[in-house]
Amino acid sequence: MKTKPRNRIGPFVNGTGHPLGAPVANGHPVANGKPAKGPPSPDHVPPAPAPAPAGRDPGGRFQLGCRPGPGNPFAKRVAGLRKALLDSVTEADVARLGRELMAQAVGGDVAAAKVLLSYVVGKPTAPVDPDRVELEAWKLLLSWPTVAEVLAATWAVRPAAAAQVVEAEAPATGDEVMKRAAGRAPLESAARIIRRREEKGR
């Protein structure tokens, strides 16, 4: 039986040999093709850790004061393109498309029927669980507004009117901002309102 010639080049190609002496792997001597246990070779230099990205700690977490991402720089352009697309379609065009879908659905086109019914009737809902009917009725009652919420809503302001007031009364200079910040009562009141809205999930 013939034996294969010993590969004298492979160990140096795959990194398991050392041309000047004892073979090493990651700083450890190699015995029988496996790194031997023990301290690394004194000549072994461990690789330097990769530097952390800007604004992050060595663990990769964001640090305080890091620069936020740029977001979508083309959001304004995309909004303009969508507006142009909406302006190119009229109600008459949509009505014509609906009539064509209706004709195709009546003619036996299942795909057209699914599209038409999904927008006219809506997608099929999940079947009602008889064991949860009373529970869902109770949840519906709990979702009703309370008397306190109704009274508070009578003091609500329309968003357009609120925006006009803020734009008219907003400070125009840094000095005006600091003067308003000196009065802590308005800030504390605003903080309480924000906390109540967050608790209610609004």
Percent of the chain with pLDDT strictly greater than 90: 36
Tell me the C-alpha distance between 131 and 172, whole Å.
60
Task: Give the β-pairing of 24-25 and 28-31.
Answer: antiparallel
Residue 194 has pLDDT above 50, yes or no: yes
pTM recorded for the entire structure = 0.37
Q: What is the pLDDT of residues 50-93, one digit of tens each?
A: 776 677 777 777 777 666 666 677 888 999 999 999 999 999 99
